[in-house]
Structure 1
Amino acid sequence: MPADTITVEPVRDELWPELQAVFGYKGDPSGCWCQWFKLTGTQYRELSREQKAVRLHDSVAAEPAPGVIAWLDGEPVGWAAVEPFSSYPGLARSPITKRLADDPADPWAVTCFVVREGYRKRGVAHALLEGALAYALGRGADIVEGYPVDPEVRPALTSAERFHGTVSLFGSAGFQVVRRPSATRAIMRFEAPR
């Protein structure tokens, strides 16, 4: 049996129907539309699913793209959000991801992964992270961060709790742990070769 062919590219407006297929109409992704880190808690709770989808669509139609989409054998199957840290006000407020004195001011951040049910455990998240990293570096990023969970510490993490990615996923892409703000979370960083 041939290996799965996974391709990844920056999302753009004409791919909106495919991105809708990735987020789906039930489950956590369809309720969030990658707006959790873009809004205050109150704003997030006040917006409907449809309003969150409109916000993501508006950012997809603009430049730069807010993330990358993955295709497996021609089917849209995954999404990773990646933008400069400053694009995510929620990151600055979070006790996990807030900036410390010696942190880079505005690295690019990979904040979210969505892989459609039925396509998990087939390398999609790895391809998404590689694509997100390549996209950020291609846009001039010197540093790219991730804020993954560590299932080695807490094996019972659900797939919904893994939307940040995992420590092993980021490690396999060359990211290094720079600190652990909690037992189950890490700040991981990739620095572009100089």
Structure 2
Amino acid sequence: MSDLSIKPLSPALVGEFLRFFDHEHGPAFADNPQWAKCYCHFYGVPRAIDWDSLTAQQNRVAMQSRIEVGEAEGFLAFQGNEAVGWMNAQPRHKLPHCFERLGIAPTPLPCAPYQAAVIVCFVIAPAHRRSGVARRLLADGVAALATRGIKLVDAFPFKAGESKVAADHYHGPLSLFLSEGFSILREDARMTVVRKLLA
């Protein structure tokens, strides 16, 4: 994919983000319609709020608002002008509810929360899976985080084994993280916690 480019999410890209995730036309959840309402809002919602009570439109509006004011971060992959992938990677203090949603204890930090990042989601358009998009998102995204002073990145791949079901690996597969320099920090019941030190 020589024309693949990775761009950090910004207010200028809110339209491309929404088109990628819009469940009626976007490719993000074309083969997983049960998650089509998410808009990658799940890990930003406090556990006190019943996720099932939120509609697709509510999640869309919430994410649009967060992107437009610079509160939501991440990375979009483009082939030409078309968004074909997404990685939700942002400073830990911007996702204060993610560990509650993950159902695990927070990882200890040797630095301030704003100097640590978490990766909680990959979504690759079905036609572009197994073509290196997730690897480019991870490599370029982590490099971009490092240039802005992020000292470490944590991620949480599910223990999905050799499952070929994409939804089983939406945190990213363990093998991908290990091949990109992450190390296992902790084992939890449903997932492996991995970390990469950047400084």
Q: TM exceeds 0.5?
A: yes
Question: 1:75 is matched by which residue type in structure 2?
Answer: E
8 Å CA contact retained: 1:23, 1:29: no
| Greater mean deviation of Cα atoms: 71-80 or 86-95 | 86-95
In 2, distance between residues paired with 1:91 and 1:21?
Answer: 24
CA contact (8 A) 1:35 1:44 kept: no
Identity %: 24
- Which consecutive residues of structure 1, in runs of 5 or more, have no partner in the other structure? none
Q: Cα offset for 1:33?
A: 1.0
Distance, in Å, in 2 between the alignment partners of 1:186 and 1:49 is 30
Provide TM-score, normalisation by structure 1.
0.85
**Paired position in structure 1 for 2:120:** 111
Query: Could you report, residue by residue, the CA deviation over 1:44-73 in whole angstroms, capped at 9, with x for unpaired residues?
Result: 222210111111112221236511100124
Classify 1:124/1:95 alpha carbon distance in 2 versus 1 (closer, same or farther; 3 Å).
closer
CA distance in 1, matches of 2:186, 2:132: 26
Q: Which of 165, 178, 193 is the aligned partner of 1:171? A: 178
- Does the 8 Å contact 2:63/2:72 carry over to 1? no
Equivalent position of 2:42 in the other structure: 36
2:195 match: 189
Aligned with 1:18 (options 1, 16, 19): 16
Unaligned runs of 5+ in 2: 24-29
Structure 1 runs of 4+ aligned residues shifted over 6 Å read none
Aligned residues of 1:96 and 1:181 also touching (Cα < 8 A): no
Contact conserved, 1:11 with 1:69, CA < 8 A, in 2? Answer: yes
Change (3 A) 1:37 1:137: same
Deviation, 1:95, is: 6.4
Question: 1:23·1:114 contact (CA, 8 Å) conserved in 2?
Answer: no
Give 1:86 deviation, angstroms. Answer: 2.6
SS at match of 1:83: strand
Alpha-carbon deviation of 1:97? 3.6
In 1, distance between residues paired with 2:124 and 2:171?
Answer: 12
TM-score normalized by structure 2?
0.83
